[in-house]
Structure 1
Amino acid sequence: MSLDEQNIPSEAPHAAPMEGSTSPSDKVSAKESLEAVRHALKRRSIPCSSGVFPLGAEDLTLFYGKKNAGTTHRVDFDPATDKEIEALAKACEPASFGRNNEAILDETYRKAGKMDATDFCTKFDPVSCRLLDTLREALLEGHDADRSIRAELYKLNVYGPGSFFKPHKDTPRAGNMFATLVVVLPTPHKGGALAFRHGDSEYIFDSAAAIADASEPSIAFAAFYSDVEHEVTPVENGHRVTLTYNLYFGARPKVPFTVPMAGALETSLKASMSSLLSNATFLPRGGYIGFGLSHLYPVSEGYRPEELKDFLKGSDAVLLHVCDELSLDVNIKVAYKNGWEFKDAILCDFTLNSIDELYDGIQSLREELQRRGGKQLVSKPAIADSDEAAGSGDDEDSEEDCDFDFPPIFVRWVTPLVDPCETKDETMFVGNMGNEPGKEWMYSSMCLLVDVPKLSERLDPDAEAED
C-alpha cells in the first residue's frame, strides 16, 4: 500500500476533476478550491511503512567480531539462545547520539548498545529477499515507482531491559539520502516500540508483538523518511536487536519498467489544482503562490535548493509532479524571516549552515542575505478579500507593503512556511539532536514557489500573451 493511500478520506472536500476545462469554474469558489488543495496535501498520516516479513533460517544468521581479534562469533536467530544474545549485547559498545556536531554519551537520552557495520556481517539482504521491492511500493508512488533504491547497512543495535532512545531525527549523510530502514530480528522481548510523529500525526509500531504473532520465522521492519521524528520506547524485558539501513535514491530508469500510474494523492491534488487555476476569481492577473514543503531536506555548504527537485519525498514530490503536469513554472527556495513574522522575508537560492555564527542580529542577517543575492519576499493571504469579489480581480501588490530596499516578490502561501533557522532549534531535534553528529549535512526547510499565469493564459495556454 502506498504511504499516500494510508488513512485517506474517501473524498476531498469540493474537489472535482477540472482537467480539460476551457472556461472558469462557476460552481466552486476560489476559497473552496484552495481548501481542497490543502486537504489533498494533508491526507497522509505518518510517512512510514511497517510490518513483518518472513525469512528462511539461512537469512537469520549473524557473524560478529572485532578486526584482528582472532575470534568470530555466530548467532542463528532461528531461534537464538539467551546466552548468545547476552554475548552479543556484551560485545556492543555504548551507543552515543549527535548533539551540536558532537558525539554524546548520555544514558538519560539514549541507552543502548551499538556495533558498527565493520564489526559484523549478516546473510540477510533486503535486496535479494525482495523486502526493498515491498518498500519501494510503499515509499515511492506513481511516477517514482520504478526508481531504484540503494540500501546501506549502517549499525547493529541491542536494546536490553530499560534501554530506550528519546525523540530524534536520523542524521542526514548525503543529499540523496531520504529514508531509514530498521529491521528488528526475532528475539523474545517486550516494549521497545517505535513511535513516529510528523505534523499533527503519531503512529506506534510494536515490533515485539508483531514478531510474536508471526506464524513463521520473520523479521519486523519499519521504513520511514529520515526527517520524521521517532523514538524507541523503553524495553521492559528481553533484548531488542536491530539492523539499521540508510536508504538512498538511485538513478531514475531511462525507460520506465512499467507505465506509471497516478496514485490517489496525485489524482486528488491535480483535480484540486486544476479547479483552483480555472477559477476566475483566483489571481486573474497572475502571481506567485507558495507551498511550505512538508519534509525537511539535507543541505550542505554551497547547496542549491534547485538540486532537490530530484530528491523530494512523499507529498512534496507529488506536488512538484502535478505542477509539471499542469505546465507551471516552479522553483525550490529557502525563505528566512525578517524579524519575528513572515509578513516579509528574504527568499534565497542558497542555504546558510552556520546561521548563529553569521550574524549578530536581524539587520546584519538581512544585509548578508541581500549581498548574496536574496530577494525580498512579501507574504500575502492566499485568497485576498478582493479575489472573491466578482469581477474585481486580485488586489494590487504595492511596494508600500515592504520595509526594506530591494525589489519585492509577492507570494500567497497555500501551506505554511517554516523558517530554516527554526529547524535548527533543539526542540526540533534537527541539526542539534540526531543518531550521530552532523558533520557535513544538516536538515533545512524549503518551499516551492509557483508562478501562476494570468487567467486568460491558464484557460488557453496556446493563446499569445497580451503586451
Structure 2
Amino acid sequence: MSSRTGILPMRSGPYSEVDTSDAEFQRAVSRFLAVKDQTFAVSGSIPISETEPTTLFFRTTGISHALPFPLRPDALNQLPALNVLLAACEPDLEEDGSDASEGSKHDPPLVWPSKLPFSTTFDLASHPVLDTIKMALLNKHYPGTYLYAVRDKFEIFLAGSRTGPRQDVPKPSRIRDGSHLVASVVITLPVPHRGGALVVRNPDGGEERFYPTNQNKPGDKTLHWTAYLADCEHEVEFVEQGCRMAMSYGVYMKSFGPAGPRPEPLFSPNEKLLGSLSALVRLSKDRTLGVYLTGGYDCSPADVLADSLVPHLKCSDATLYHALKAFKVIVELRWVALGHVWPADRTVQLKTDDFENTASLMRQKLSYTYGAPSKSSMHRAGRQRRRSVAGSVASYDGSSNMGALGISGIGGRGRDRHSSRYGYKVASYEVEEDEDEYLDDIIVEGGAVPLQETNIVVLTARDEGVFRCSVPAISRGELEEVQVNVLLLFYVE
C-alpha cells in the first residue's frame, strides 16, 4: 500500500520531477513572484434585493424624480426620469478630449452637477466593501483609525465617450478634520453596455483591467464595484454601445481614540472617575504617578515599545487614558519588572551569558496572564521563585482611613517626606540575594532603572488584577521567565 501524508502525495526518488531549468517554467515563476504581492485594486459584486431595489433620487427644477435599477436596454425611450437625468448632467470639465493620446479625440462623460440634490438608496456602509478594502489593500491600517466613504461624483458614459488617465484628488470640502484619502471605489450600476473597461495602473507600472459583470446583460441585478489605492492612475476605455453609469466614492482614513497628535475618543469618561482624578491631580503637583494596565494585550515587550499599546487600550485602561488627557497631564506607558522600569524609548532586552540555548529559548512561547501584581515577578521553569525589591511594594495601613489604595515605587526622598502623612507602610518580602542579583544585573544592562532610584509613585489597589506577560531569559544556564507589567505614568506639572 502506498502511504500518504496529508493531502499531498509523498513520492520517493529524486527531489523534484520538474525541470526547474526549463525557460518557460522560470518565466512563469517570475511572473507569479512579480504580481503576488502587488495588490493595488480589487473588485466584486453586490446583488440588488428584489424587495429593496437600488433607486436614484434627484431634483432639477423643483420636481423630484426617481430612477430604479436595473435598467432595460430600451429604457432611454421609455423612462422620462432618465431623459431628465441626462438633460441635467454636464460634460466633465476634467475631460475635454484634448489630452487624448496620439491626437485622437473622445467625448467626455457626463457628470451630475454638485449644486443639484442627488441621493441613492444604495448605502456603501451597509456592505462589507470598506472591510474588504481594509483587508486586501490597506495592509498598514493602523489601530485607532477607521475608514469612511464620501460620494465624489455620478458619471454617465454614453456611446463614444471615455476618460483619459487621471488620478483622484481629495475634495477639501468633504474631508473631515485629520483624515486623508487612501482609496477610491467605483460602483457600476446595472445598465446594459459594451466596452467601458476600467483600467487601473499603480506607480510601479502594474495594470489591472476590470469589466463590469453586469455589462451587456439585460435583467442583471448586481452592482459591480472596483476599489483601488489613492496613488493609482485610472481611466475608462471607450463605451462602444449602450450607457455606462457609475458612482465614485473617496475612501478616507481618520484616527480616533487615544492615537494621533489630537486624540478624538468615541466616548467620555464618567463623572465619578473625573471627580476622583480631579482631587488626585490637585494634590499631586510635581509628581509622576503610575497605575498598572489591567486589560489583555497581545504584545511582546522584547519587540515593541510600551507606548505602542496606546491605540489598543481597552476597558478601564482606555477610559483612564482619555480622562487623564482631559486634565492636560503628560501621559506615557512604560515596561516594568522586578522593581525596575524601562525608559519610554526602550524595549525589554534581557542579555544572556548562554548563547548555546538561544534556539531552545526562541521555541518558548510567550504567555499572557492576568492577576494581582505578584510579589514574585519572576518564575523559574518548574518552581516558583520569591522576589521583592525593598520599598517597591507598599500598601496603606489597615488602621488608616485612606482606603484600599496603595502606593509603591517611591524614591527615597519622596518616601521620607510622605510616608507619615499618607499612612502607608513599606512591605518587604524574602529575597534570594545570591540568585536574584545576577538577574538584576542582566535587567540593568538591558536599560532598566530601579524604581527606587526614580520619583515614580505607583498606585495599586489590593488584589487588583493587572496585565502580565512573560519575557524568557537565560540566567546561569537555566531558563527564566521574567514577568513584565505595564505602567501608565502621568506627570502633574
The TM-score normalised by the length of structure 1 is 0.41
Rg: which structure is higher? 2
Which structure ranks higher in relative contact order (CA pairs < 8 Å, sequence separation ≥ 6)? 1
